[in-house]
Each structure stands twice: as structure tokens, then as C-alpha cells.
A and B are shown apart, each in its own frame.
Chain A
């Protein structure tokens, strides 16, 4: 200490000859000395009231200065902070939150926030392992844990952390393929960046701890974004084609089965129909056969006459007796047919009637003129039409 130097130099700034090793100077002694000095000096001049006034005013001024010095030493440390106390520039101690006092000019206090979590980001375009370019963005959350190291280990610790973060991020991306970073390798990349960053800042010893790292985004560079989006769209298209084909398959198979079913049913129905028809027909035959066997001649004649009756009653007849006379007979068939055409609506047409059909369409009355040789159904023998 200046006033303690072995050389015997007595350079005590406060001129306190008496108390050499007693820490902060004694206030009373200060008063006395200054008091004494000025009384000595003022002793020569000697005005009657000057003595008293001088002493008191000097004392008041000094006292005020001391009070101001004391008050200026009060300060507060907030809840989230710790204070780093330097005495004469040298690290002295930490102080906890609350109201504290320091001797001004002697002590300096630096409050450091050790609880709040701050964040910083890192983003940019970077090269991947397969010489592609991707844009990656990550975010880092950190906290100051050792205030002394934070303040005195590195110049600008935040910037150092940022640089290290950038370096770690690009290091990890440079060791990954582009596909990895863009899709499935994000979690792994995030952890690797964390590890790498911790390794980088360890020798710096900055007193900061990394709380969390988040992988915010990874995307291909803008210039190639379209191509990338199209590749994804192509994957979707691939799936779409397959699904469409599957839908087609799912639609067509049941339809085919339905058709198969229908055909089977149709076949069965036909089989049954034909069988039943046959059975029906032969049933009639079967009924008639015993009758025939019992009285063949009669049955035949009866059936014949019934059939012919129906035939002749439903058709137009011309009875021609060609035996006996060798004359040529004129048979106006076209007139006959014309008449027949007009009386009944034409059904199935024969080729010989086609030429007459136009006359029919123009409308005709059903003429009833009967040439003498003709018999029509209007000249029946009083039998009702069957």
C-alpha cells in the first residue's frame, strides 16, 4: 500500500499519521486534522468571528461530501441477475439480488442476467455432401451460467457464439446429403449441430450454456424450387395413377361377376323353360294318345276337321273346280287380294302384295261385291266365327 511502503515513505493521502493500518480512515481524525490546519492557518490572520465560521462550514462541506459518497454506493441487483464485483479492477466476489452497497471509486459492479433465456438464429444457403445447395434455418436458445466467464473470457461472447453456431450448422449440413436434410435427417442434423457447437465453444469457456436448438426450416434454393415441387407432385401423380387403376379394377370385377351370374341364371332359366315347354307339349300329346289308340279313325277325322275349320275360317278361300272343263279361267287374284287388303290391316306382307299396298293406304271401303264364284266369310252357314 502506498502509505505502507517499506522505505518509510509516508505518503498517506489523508495525512493520517496516527492510524496506519486501520482500513478506511477515521472520520473524526479527518475533521480534526483539517480543522487543525485551518485554525493554524487562520491563526495568523485572526478575525474575531472568522474562526468559528470557517471551521463549521468546512466541516459541513466535508460531511456532505462523505454523505454523498455513501449514498452513491447503494445499488440494486434484480432477481434474475448476479453482480460481479471488481475491487480496484480485480475480481472480488459475486453479489446476490437485492439492495447492496459498494464503496464508489473503489468497487465496480457489473450486473449480469443469468436466468433469462435468449435466442439467436442462423440461416443461409450452404453446400451439402453431394455438392447441392440448400437453404437451412436453425434457432439456438442459450443462457448465461457463469457471469465472470461471460464477461471476461472472450470479447463479445454473443458474437462468438453466433459464429460458432454458423460454423457448426454448416459443418453438419456439409456432412449430410440434400435428401437427408430436406426430409428424414432433420432430427439427426439438429442433434449433431448441438454436439458440434458444444465441442467448438468448449475451449472458449464463455460461461454460456445451450438450452435448446430448433430446426426451423430446410428448403431447396429458390431458383430450383419449381423443379423440387414438381418432383413431389410426380410422386403424388404416381400414386394417383395406381389408385385410378385400382379403382378401375375394383369397379370392373364386380360388374363382370354380375354378368357371369346373370348368364348362369339365364342358362338355367332357358333350360327350365325349354324343358317345361317340352313337357307341356308332350302332355297334350300324352292326353290325346290314349283317345287315339282307342278310336284312331274317329279321332283323326275329328282333329282334321277342327283344324281345317279354323284354317278356312280365318283365311280367304277360292274354290276352283278345274276338272271337267278345259276352259281357261280368269282369276282376278290381284283384285281379290286388293279387297282382302282393305278389309283387314296388313300384317306380315308377302312379296306379291307389295304392289297393291299403296292402293290400300289411300283408303278404301271394304267393298262387298262378290263375284258369283267366290265365297267369302260373309257367306257362312250360320256358324259363329271361332
Chain B
């Protein structure tokens, strides 16, 4: 009797425990019965919210699915643009499960498979958007339109998977390695041109300044020279006037006086040898002391 009761208790406990299940926040659950997803009266799949729920043990199976926003982030892909140039693009997709039953049926609840299917659809959308635009449009002008359109395209087809695409975003757009070098060349050449322009403009302005000042100085000095000669000339004229005014009072006396000074100045050293005749006026009284008039 005792054993039977014990076994009964244990069996009941186990049965009880297997008929309750807990759904944590951030997850949802669906019930699969005999391979079919359980539906309610309206024909909609039954989705269990977070909390404590009950099920029929052994018959009903619970599939728990992540209800949060997932991120699909794959390594960079290569896309061709309208100009037939290559771009290396790194993008990510934010998605969440919208229709849990459809998702389970189309992917078997396998996230990796779901992401693989999703990636194909999204890449298709991106490829067509990239292929119809030029690089400047992709990098700047129509960057956001591009992402919106890719999202829309992918969203249409992701409904089949029971997935809602929340966001498609381009993280990185880079040019392939081979092209980087030629870009660097171009940047270098452009910088060089700028550098040369600056330097020669600087020299040009310096020349202008120098030429200006040189011209100014030359004119200044020439004017000064002219003034100098003018003034000197004035001085000379004044002096000449003074001389003339006075000397013209008695030109002959001036001539006499000036000659005397000239003689004194010219013959003033022993080097000078004068050969004179005694008939010179100076020797008037040398020959004889008679009175002369």
C-alpha cells in the first residue's frame, strides 16, 4: 500500500511538472501537436506570452522562439555600380519574427537557416540598388534612399518567412584595394597642385610688394637728388650774385687783388723755380736807388 502511494505521488509530480512551462521575457512560444501548430478558434496560431503556462504533457510540444530584434551581420560583400566599378560594402539587417508559426514552418525554427534565406533576399535588393547608381550617389547623394528601397524590396519577400525586417543599413562602403592606390595617387597629386599654387602665389605677392617699394624708393631718391642739385644751384647763384655785386663795383681792382692771391697760392714751395728778369717791377729799386715815379 505504502509503495503504491509513493509511486503514485512521484508519477503525479512528474506529470504535473511536465505540464507546466515557463516563457521568459524576450521570447514567445508556440505549441505543436502531432506535428501541427496549434491554432485557436479564429484559425490564428496560438502564441504564448512570457509567463507560466500549461500544456498537455507528452502530446503537446513547445517551441520557444526569440522575439527580440535580431541582427544579421555578415562580412563585406562586393557590389558593382552603374559605372561598372566595384565597391566593397559591409551592411547589417535588423529583423524580428513577426509570424511565429510561419517562421517555424519555413525555417524549422533554425536561426542560421533563417538568416541564410534572409541574407539572399536582402543582398538581391542591395545589388539591384547599387547596380543602378554611380559611386557619388551611393556614397552620399542617395545613400539613405538606397537603404530604404533595399529594405522595402527585401521586406516584401521576407513576409514569406514570417520575418519583419526592421532596418537595412550600410555600415562601410570602401573601394577595393587595387583602386585605393590610384585614389591615393590622385589625392597626392591634388595636394601637390594646391601646395604649388600656394607657394607661387606667395612669391607673386612678395614680388609685387618688393617692386612697389623699390619703385617708390627710386622716385623718392630721384626727387631728392633733383632738390639737392636745385638747392646747390641756388646756393651757387646766390654766391655768384654776391661776388658779382661786390666785385663789379671795381672790376679792375678785383682782378688785381685776385691775381695777387692767385700768385701767392700757386707759388708757395721750394719746388717752384722762378726764373725772373730784373726788369720785373718787383726789382724796381734793386738796380738803383734813384727815385722812380
Whole-angstrom CA separation of A86 from B50 in the bound complex: 9
CB-defined contacts of B230 to chain A, threshold 8 Å:
267
A210 interfacial contact with B, CB 8 Å: no
B259-293 vs A, CB cutoff 8 Å, 1 = contact: the mask equals 01101100111111111111101110000000000
Partner of B191, one of A90, A230, A244, A307: A230
Partner of A204, one of B166, B195, B217: B166
A188 interfacial contact with B, CB 8 Å: no
Residue of B with least CB distance to A314: B268
Given contacts A13-B16, A304-B281, contact A127 B239 (CB under 8 A): no
Residue of B with least CB distance to A262: B224
Whole-angstrom CA separation of A383 from B85 in the bound complex: 122
> Which one of B30-38, B67-75, B121-129, B155-163 is at the A interface?
B67-75
In chain A between 206 and 239, which residues have their CB closer than 8 angstroms to a CB of chain B? 220-221, 223-224, 226-228, 230-231, 233-235, 237-239
Do A259 and B221 have beta carbons less than 8 Å apart? yes
Whole-angstrom CA separation of A306 from B257 in the bound complex: 11
B84 interfacial contact with A, CB 8 Å: no
Given contacts A204-B69, A233-B195, A318-B275, contact A246 B209 (CB under 8 A): yes
> Which one of A46-54, A56-64, A70-78, A332-340 is at the B interface?
A332-340
B25 interfacial contact with A, CB 8 Å: yes
Output the least CB separation between B156 and chain A (Å): 18
A21 interfacial contact with B, CB 8 Å: no
Whole-angstrom CA separation of A230 from B198 in the bound complex: 11
In chain A between 129 and 166, which residues have their CB closer than 8 angstroms to a CB of chain B? 129, 131-133, 148, 151-156, 159-160, 163-164, 166
CB-defined contacts of B214 to chain A, threshold 8 Å:
252
Given contacts A88-B52, A244-B206, contact A340 B271 (CB under 8 A): yes
Residue of B with least CB distance to A343: B270
A69 interfacial contact with B, CB 8 Å: no
CB-defined contacts of B227 to chain A, threshold 8 Å:
263-264, 267
A171 interfacial contact with B, CB 8 Å: yes
Output the least CB separation between B148 and chain A (Å): 12
> Which one of B101-109, B112-120, B167-175 is at the A interface?
B167-175
Given contacts A131-B183, A166-B172, contact A337 B273 (CB under 8 A): yes
Partner of A129, one of B136, B171, B202: B136
Given contacts A11-B16, A321-B277, A353-B271, contact A151 B224 (CB under 8 A): no
Partner of B278, one of A241, A242, A319: A319
Do A159 and B282 have beta carbons less than 8 Å apart? no
Residue of A with least CB distance to B206: A245
CB-defined contacts of B44 to chain A, threshold 8 Å:
none
Given contacts A230-B192, A316-B274, contact A240 B173 (CB under 8 A): no
Output the least CB separation between A30 and chain B (Å): 14
A280-318 vs B, CB cutoff 8 Å, 1 = contact: the mask equals 011001101100110010001001111110111011111
Do B228 and A153 have beta carbons less than 8 Å apart? no
Residue of B with least CB distance to A293: B250
Residue of B with least CB distance to A377: B270
CB-defined contacts of A152 to chain B, threshold 8 Å:
25-26, 68
Do B2 and A41 have beta carbons less than 8 Å apart? yes
Given contacts A174-B173, A224-B191, A231-B191, contact A307 B180 (CB under 8 A): no
Do B175 and A90 have beta carbons less than 8 Å apart? no
Given contacts A267-B228, A282-B243, contact A253 B68 (CB under 8 A): no
In chain B between 221 and 237, which residues have their CB closer than 8 angstroms to a CB of chain A? 221, 223-225, 227-232, 234-236
Do B171 and A170 have beta carbons less than 8 Å apart? yes
Do B213 and A252 have beta carbons less than 8 Å apart? yes
Do B274 and A90 have beta carbons less than 8 Å apart? no
The 8 closest A-B pairs by CB, nearest first: A271-B235, A238-B202, A90-B51, A88-B52, A267-B231, A234-B195, A245-B206, A278-B239
Query: Could you show 14 A-B contacts with beta carbons less than 8 Å apart?
Result: A89-B27, A129-B136, A152-B68, A154-B71, A160-B69, A231-B192, A263-B227, A267-B232, A274-B235, A285-B254, A303-B256, A304-B260, A346-B271, A353-B271
Given contacts A314-B270, A318-B276, 6 further A-B contacts (CB under 8 A): A133-B184, A264-B231, A275-B239, A321-B278, A331-B275, A343-B270
Q: Chain B residues in contact with chain A, CB under 8 A?
A: 2, 5, 9, 12-13, 15-16, 19-20, 22-27, 49-52, 54, 66, 68-71, 73, 92, 94, 135-136, 139-140, 143-144, 166-167, 169-175, 180, 183-184, 187-188, 191-192, 194-199, 201-203, 205-210, 212-214, 216-217, 220-221, 223-225, 227-232, 234-236, 238-240, 242-243, 245-247, 249-250, 253-254, 256-257, 260-261, 263-264, 267-279, 281-283
